[in-house]
């Protein structure tokens, strides 16, 4: 099995509604997203000869989704008063509402699913909240 690894990072704020402790407050991370894609066989012939996929394509696809989250406040839908969210948006703050609790675990599956849907055979996606804390999602294959 051949495995390629690519990574990209984004800076964003979040909070964990219902969490007791400092993470219930809005705070930020430099989120590091690492994905691995795999293939049993390398491409044969042409531009992609001897490759799993072109690193450039994987890098661009990962960057596109990761950059979309950069410098935003990411909140779980329904966990902040609607009018407060609207006011913040009116003030020009970038708020991104997601349908999951924004934990490293949920983000790892979220990025796994996105890259899979882009057509890659994804082995795993890792999301680092801090340099030493990381969640991993691996598909069942
Ligand atoms: N299993 C998980 N546990 C926690 C998650 C998570 O996504 N999955 N997230 C958080 C918070 O987002 C928090 O920001 C992380 O805090 P902490 O582990 O305390 O990390 P710090 O490096 O900021 O801690 P210091 O002690 O301040 O250095 C919590 N748990
Ligand atoms: Zn956090």
Dihedral sign of CA atoms 36, 113, 130, 56 in order? positive
Q: What is the ipTM of this complex?
A: 0.92
Residue that wins the pLDDT comparison between 140 and 28: 28
Distance CA 65, CA 98 (A): 14
Is residue 7 annotated as part of the catalytic site, yes or no?
no
Distance CA 4, CA 6 (A): 7
Q: How far is CA 88 from CA 44, 71, 73, in A?
A: 52, 14, 10
Q: Which atom of ligand 1 is nearest to the CA of 130?
A: 22
- Around ligand 1, the residues with Cβ closer than 6 Å are 16, 23, 27, 103-105, 129-130, 133
How many Cα atoms within 13 Å fall on the side-chain side of residue 91?
A: 8
Q: Which ligand is nearest to the CA of 104?
A: 1
CATH fit for domain 2-138, picks 3.30.479.10, 3.20.20.70, 3.60.15.10, 3.10.20.740: 3.30.479.10
Distance CA 84, CA 91 (A): 11
What is the CA 71 to chain-centroid distance, rounded? 14
pLDDT of 52 over the 90 cut = yes
Task: Pick out the residues of the known binding site.
Answer: 14, 27, 29
Q: What are the pLDDT digits (tens) for 85-128?
A: 999 999 999 999 999 999 999 999 999 999 999 999 999 999 99
- State phi, psi for 117 to the nearest 5 degrees: -65, -20
Q: How many angstroms does the Cα of residue 22 sit away from the middle of ligand 1?
A: 9
Cβ(75)–Cβ(101) under 8 Å?
Answer: no
Q: Which ligand is nearest to the CA of 135?
A: 1
Q: How many angstroms does the Cα of residue 134 sit away from the middle of ligand 1?
A: 10
């Amino acid at each position: 099995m051949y495995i390629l690894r690519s990574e990209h990072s984004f800076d964003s704020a979040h909070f964990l509604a219902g969490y007791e402790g400092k993470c219930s407050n809005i705070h930020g991370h430099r989120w590091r997203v690492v994905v691995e894609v795999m293939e049993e066989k390398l491409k044969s012939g042409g531009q992609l000869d001897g490759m799993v996929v072109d690193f450039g394509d994987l890098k661009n696809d990962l960057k596109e989704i990761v950059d979309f989250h950069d410098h935003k406040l990411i909140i779980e839908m329904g966990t902040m008063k609607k009018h407060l969210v609207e006011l913040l948006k009116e003030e020009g703050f970038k708020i991104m509402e997601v349908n999951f609790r924004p934990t490293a675990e949920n983000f790892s599956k979220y990025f796994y699913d996105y890259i899979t849907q882009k057509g890659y055979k994804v082995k795993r996606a890792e999301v680092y909240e801090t340099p030493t804390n990381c969640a991993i999602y691996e598909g069942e294959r």
